[in-house]
Structure 1
């Protein structure tokens, strides 16, 4: 036995970390349901995402200021990288996601977004010349088969709207995959908390600025229910999942935490049925099962 090996994590600590990871995945997935509820007040994606960032910005800005005072100054190159990452990874991906949610069900939206790891793999293969093993190709095929199954099922009822919404959310997943690839090296140097808080501040400024450019300021005056939903969207579906995921990664590792995140599409499917009245069909369950199976296989890659 190797005495230098890391001691096993106590069961109670492991289960606690797993619970945090699952809770974070469920809360993050809930943003799609909250957005759908806000659309019932005749709001559009530009307004919904602006309200989301208005409520989450103070938290991320506070952390950014704290890290700015305690951390080493950023180089000019790092500042530009963070601006690009915030614009692509959070602003563009969030905007396309919320825009797509106007046309498709929350179940299909979550399944498409859950393909982000496969996009990371494909981009790495195409542009960074990384090798894809047979097991990874199998995982990709299974995951995309699940998406196609649910897409074809929803296409019968929605037609062109489903195709448009799915394309927008697909673009969201690809934008976030690009962010993950860009952030890899910077996370090691700056730390995830500092990098995320800086990138979220950039994204918030972009989303709020977009609102004031494209929409009249009087749209900020909304019923109290909109403010309540925006608070839930900004704090419980944005800020808390970020910190919960980080805590889980520290306790149980990134691999286990990412596998726990597989609960996301399933929770969204049933939350959509419970809160929004969206039907849960056998086709959707089968497609969800295929996507989860594919991502699970992908996560087993050492």
Structure 2
């Protein structure tokens, strides 16, 4: 039986992982103040992440070896690595050139509702009445925060919001589609493979379309690239995996509600961002909605 001490340790790991993940948007916005373009900072993130995932892929190469995999399974790994970590990251980084880090996290936090909708459409999984109401509540919160910011910052908010929404959609698609692949490969092995695919995609993107010299930036850009890779990508991915294993995914979904809050706090400290009262209320509505979405329908007791 799980001890109370172990449970709270799992909670602590989850909170730390979510806060580190949330710091990514803030550090990307800080990098943009040094006139770095989107693909360059994304490249630095992947360059510094790449060695870690190579090592992980090697260490876990024999994980789930007893389960037979086919060539098409590896094709799907490539596809979901492409959309889940390359496209989702690219859309997110582009969106951050237009909108505040705190608003980015609020919009990105929609991905659990998108997962539910995609599961309903493609996998015919039912949505409970509580979850349906929560989805409506969540999008209402987004509308409040988004249109208030639109009134303040202008049309660029629409462009940024669309890119962040695309990021949430592609990441949710990755979560839905990868669900049946993870049992075949194992969590660590699958994640490492998918991340390596995304790294290669970014390398190709940079080599084909970028005209900037990656060695021309100040040391602060490289430091931020390293921090984004290690402390906002690699380390939190392990912390989150460990937390879910210790406290369950349903409990972790509640812990994840700290994500937008931590981003708002970090953005206020390091970027001097401020949300209006209406935006804060919208963020609260979104968080409550996501927590309700995460509630599972209780199972009916079996008759004996």
Same-fold call, TM cutoff 0.5: yes
RMSD: 1.3
The answer for the alignment partner of 2:301 in structure 1 is none
The answer for the alignment partner of 1:141 in structure 2 is 136
Equivalent runs, 1:42-121 vs 2, <5 Å = 42-68=35-61, 72=65, 74-121=69-116
Cα distance in 2, alignment partners of residues 288 and 295 from structure 1: 11
TM-score, normalised with respect to structure 1: 0.94
Q: Deviations over 1:229-263 (max 9, x none)?
A: 11100000000111000110111111111211110
Q: Name the SS of the counterpart of 1:68 in structure 2.
A: coil
Contact 2:98 2:160 in 1 (8 A): yes
Q: Structure 1: which 5+ runs fail to align?
A: 1-6
Q: Structure 2: which 5+ runs fail to align?
A: 298-304
Q: 2:149 aligns with which of 154, 157, 167?
A: 154
Cα distance in 2, alignment partners of residues 249 and 75 from structure 1: 28
Q: 1:36 aligns with which of 14, 29, 32?
A: 29
1:180 paired with 2:175, answer yes
Aligned pairs, number: 295
1:273 paired with 2:268, answer yes
The answer for the alignment partner of 1:4 in structure 2 is none
The answer for the alignment partner of 1:14 in structure 2 is 7
Deviates more, 1:145-154 or 1:206-215: 206-215
The answer for the alignment partner of 1:3 in structure 2 is none
Contact 2:64 2:186 in 1 (8 A): no
Q: Name the SS of the counterpart of 1:185 in structure 2.
A: coil
Cα distance in 1, alignment partners of residues 171 and 289 from structure 2: 19
Structure 1 residue 70 displacement after superposition: 5.6
1:132 paired with 2:115, answer no
1:291 paired with 2:282, answer no
Structure 1 residue 216 displacement after superposition: 3.2
Contact 2:36 2:221 in 1 (8 A): no
Cα distance in 1, alignment partners of residues 25 and 63 from structure 2: 35
Contact 1:270 1:280 in 2 (8 A): no
Structure richer in helix, relative to its length? 1
Cα distance in 1, alignment partners of residues 280 and 189 from structure 2: 38
Cα distance in 1, alignment partners of residues 247 and 238 from structure 2: 14
- 4+ aligned runs moved over 3 Å, structure 1: none
